[in-house]
Structure 1
Amino acid sequence: MPPLLSYGFRPFYILAAMLGAAMVPLTLAGIFGLVPAPDYFGPFTWHAHEMVFGYAAAIIAGFLLTATANWTGLPPTRGAGLAALTALWAAGRVAIWYGDVLPGALVAAIDIAFLPAVALAVGAKVVRARNFRNLIVVAVLLALTLSNLALHLVALGYDEAIPDRAIEFSLGVLMILLALLGGRVIPFFTGNSLPQAKVRQMGRLDMVALVLLLPALVPGLDTVAPWLFGVAALAHLARMIGWRTMATFGTPLLWILHLGYFWIVVSLALRAFGGLYPEAATAGIHALTVGAVGALTIGMMSRTALGHTGRPLHASRVTLSAFVLVNLAALFRVGGALRPDFGTEVLWASAAMWSLALLLYLAEFLPVLTSPRPDGKPG
């Protein structure tokens, strides 16, 4: 079996980085009319859809297909099964691109099928191992599937008011998933690497913090009851205090994850001001999508790729540069949303830094992800 098909993180991290590097400048060019966007979605919906259901979904799949083996003690999805899931994800990207010539129902069916297929692969192992506490990730995958379905219904000619609501709902689900998985792996990695930091997890606070994210699932609520987002921001900031974030500053593979989680706090705090300043609500969305999603995904792709392939947990200068660039991209994008008068140059600068960060990731990790473990062990 080729190393590429031995664990889910290998093909999906590569594909996600390739898509993410290409799609942000490409969809931005489509929004500004510089290149034709696929007719199936409008340019704005295409941009949002591909970053959630293309880029983020690939990383989620790679992470969960790998983590499930650790959770359950069962062999991971590999070989032909993993190849089929990878092909299904790629088929969704191609189908949307050629959506103007393919039957709309076929495009929708191909793209929508990916997340339920991942949910089935993960859920089957979780149930077989009676590891029921992790069925929550299956529920989250199915919730994302529903929002993807809603976007495709628009493309097929149904309710034109759906896109914004479906996108906001999907971002809320994505934030809950990031907070759920981040709350597991960030303190775990920190405690293992820095035992002297005495990381603490507070079960009740963790549960309350996750429940307080539920308002993010309701489109427009940040302008009606913004205080809910302020309370959630404080809860997640308190959660981070127990993780000893300040102790991680000398360890890039840790601080990138902590900083990524902090972008969730920033996103919630900005949306708490959405009722007074509409620009703040928009900036809060980008703090989530560019900041939290960008930093957490590139951090997790780096840390888990090194760990699962038996390599030293050390961030090279190339990796460190990618970490810095993705956070600068978030700062520029959030700043551009808060101050629209900055002009489109800020957006293009953010897109360039985002893409460069992922290209650097590929340059550093493509050999890692396509070669066997140096120690000969599975991974």
Structure 2
Amino acid sequence: MSTFIKPSKNAQEKTQITPYYAALLSADKPHELMITSKQWHIFIAAPHRVMFFGGALQAIAVMVWLLTELLTRYGVLWHPIPWTITPSAAHAWLMIYGLFPLFMFGFLMTTYPRWMKGSEIPPHRYVPAFVLLMLGAVSFYIGLLISHTLLIVAIFSTLSGWILALYALLRVLLDTPHQDKRHPQLIFIALSLGWCGLVAYLIWLLGDNAVWLRFSIQGGLWLFLLPVFSSVAHRMIPFFTASALTHNYIASPYWAWWVMLVASAGHGLLKINDASAWLWLCDAPLAIVALHLTHSWGLRRSLKFPLLGVLHIGFAWLGIAMLLFTAQSFMLFISHGKTFIWGLAPLHALTIGCFSTLLIGMATRVTLGHSGLPMKVGNSINLMFMGLQLTAMLRLLADMLPMQAGHWLYVAAGTVWLACFGSWAVRYLPVYWRPRTDGRPG
């Protein structure tokens, strides 16, 4: 991560004139066209710029779609919309494969070279990936409205963009000197399994076999998303914590990381094989390890620093989610599959509470650190961080309370999500087409 160093007055003046404005003043082309050209080159100057831009737009779009589905399904705004596939299958794709990967690739394409002391990934590797991923997302929305065939085209586009992004990360893995590459290697494997989950979704679209849809959703959650998020947290949260709290070392044992990875894979495989009553065998160890790391990493001390605290809070949700999964599964076990409690509450504790909080925390850090801005956030962003926690709690209550109350809690949770990501987008999207304030490249 880049640290912010306040430039001198002369340096600030120089930054204001070069290389951006000087190019405009000396250009032979029309002024408006040069601004567009320069902004495009600034926009593609670093992978996090394009990927986070797309991810922020997608975070808003997925919730606009979901709120539209909720409000029309019950006739609040209009009659139900005849989507080309079931809304639950569409929602799963949009969240697992349409939203999180954009932020992930933006983050990892930025950090992989720093983790392994390699060369920066050039634009010709990540810009085509970004374009194809965004084409896939846009085509998917259109396909939901008008054409099942267009959904298939959208998946092909996403698969193509994903494989280009994987290749960009693979080149860093192969081209850097021999060193400890365990985290990036395991993350690369998880991303590759995510690509396989996307292939399974395509097979389901082509043949309508529900087995492939279940594999795509459960594999995407437990073989792809959770391994990536837990690996990034295991590597980065102790590092950020030690820096912020001026500690020389924060324990982050590898055995804990391996327990999380194995338990996550075990949960996914059991779920794929419809063995929900046995999930507690994997979920309980994962919950214990996650809560142990939450305590040992210093959750309470981290809250003094919002950018650090939001990462700790996001990881704390992992322990909470797995406790809920454990209780849910054990209830199925002792009732011989007759009692299913809390619906999708544990899942949304994981996806909104843990994944989305970690995502927005890491994206904010990278955005600030790699634009030359101070590593501080104001009250509006702190309020947005808290709003995301409210979103998670509202979504949990929606599954735990009776259906009549739950419907309006779904809408409330979606509205708060939209307000949170909308405010984040308004604050940070313009940063991606502006030059760094410190005059450095990238």
TM-score (norm 2): 0.80
What is the deviation of 1:300?
0.8
Q: What does 1:126-165 correspond to in 2, within 5 Å?
A: 126-130=173-177, 132-133=181-182, 134-165=184-215
Contact 1:222–1:271 (8 Å) recurs in 2: no
Contact 1:5/1:78 (CA < 8 Å) preserved in 2? no
Query: 1:209 maps to which residue?
Result: 260
Q: 1:38: how far off?
A: 4.6
Is contact 1:169-1:216 (8 Å) kept? no
Which is worse superposed, 205-214 or 251-260? Answer: 205-214
Gap change, CA 1:284 and 1:143, over 3 Å in 2: same
Distance 2:164 2:282 in 1: 34
Which residue in 2 is equivalent to 1:374? 437
List gaps (5 residues or longer) in structure 2: 1-37, 332-338
Provide the aligned length of Structure 1 versus Structure 2. Answer: 378
Partners of 1:55 and 1:362 lie apart in 2 by 14
The correspondence for 1:95, drawn from 127, 139, 160, is: 139
Aligned to 2:210, the other structure's residue is in SS state coil
Q: 2:328 aligns with which of 274, 285, 290?
A: 274
* Contact 1:280/1:338 (<8 A) preserved: yes
Is the radius of gyration larger for structure 1 or structure 2?
A: 2
Q: Amino acid of the residue matched to residue 316 of structure 1?
A: G
d(CA) in 1 for partners of 2:82, 2:358: 28
Contact kept, 8 Å, 1:95 with 1:102, in 2: the verdict is no
Q: Aligned-pair distance for 1:25?
A: 3.4
User: Post-superposition shift, 1:153?
Assistant: 1.3
In structure 2, the residue matched to 1:361 is 424
Counterpart CA distance in 2 for 1:93 and 1:156 is 18
Q: 2:263 is matched by which residue type in structure 1? A: L
The 5 Å alignment of 1:287-306 reads 287-306=349-368
For 2:64 and 2:151, the matched residues in 1 are separated by 26
Residue number in structure 2 paired with 1:10: 49
Counterpart secondary structure, 1:76: coil
Q: 4+ residue stretches of structure 1 with deviation over 6 A?
A: none
Amino acid at match of 2:265: L
SS at match of 2:194: helix
Matched residue type, 1:369: Y
CA distance in structure 2 between the partners assigned to 1:26 and 1:11 by the alignment: 22
The letter of the residue matching 2:369 is: G
Structure 1 residue aligned with 2:393: 331
The 1:344–1:197 alpha-carbon spacing in structure 2 relative to 1, beyond 3 Å, is: farther
Question: What is the CA-CA distance between 1:177 and the residue it aligns to?
Answer: 1.1
In the other structure, the counterpart of 1:72 is: 116
| Residue in structure 2 matched with residue 42 of structure 1 by the alignment | 86
Residue of structure 2 equivalent to 1:114: 161
Counterpart residue type for residue 237 of structure 1: L
Secondary structure of 1:161's counterpart equals helix
Gaps of 5+ in 1: none
- Secondary structure, counterpart of 2:121 in structure 1: coil
CA distance in 2, matches of 1:187, 1:29: 40
Question: For residue 170 of structure 1, what is the amino acid of its counterpart?
Answer: G
For residues 260 and 339 of structure 1, the distance between their equivalents in structure 2, rounded to whole angstroms, comes to 24
For 2:345, the equivalent position in structure 1 comes to 283
Query: What is the alpha-carbon distance in structure 1 between the residues aligned to residue 90 and residue 153 of structure 2?
Result: 17
Classify 1:105/1:367 alpha carbon distance in 2 versus 1 (closer, same or farther; 3 Å). closer
Letter in 1 for 2:345: A
Task: Tell me, in whole angstroms, the C-alpha distance in 2 between the residues paired with 1:21 and 1:168.
Answer: 24
Does residue 244 of the first structure (1) align with residue 298 of the second (2)? yes
How far 1:98 sits from its partner (Å)?
3.5
Tell me if the contact between 2:142 and 2:150 (Cα under 8 Å) persists in the aligned partners: no
SS at the partner of 2:193? Answer: helix
Checking the alignment, whether the CA contact within 8 Å between 2:302 and 2:308 is kept in structure 1 is yes
1:229 equivalenced with 2:229 (yes/no)? no
Counterpart in the other structure of 2:230? 179
Change (3 A) 1:359 1:106: closer
Return the alpha-carbon distance in structure 1 between the equivalents of residues 344 and 121 of structure 2: 38
Secondary structure at 2:207 match in 1:
coil
In the alignment, the residues of structure 1 paired with residue 254 and residue 125 of structure 2 have an alpha-carbon distance, to the nearest angstrom, of 36
Bigger drift between 252-261 and 27-36 goes to: 27-36
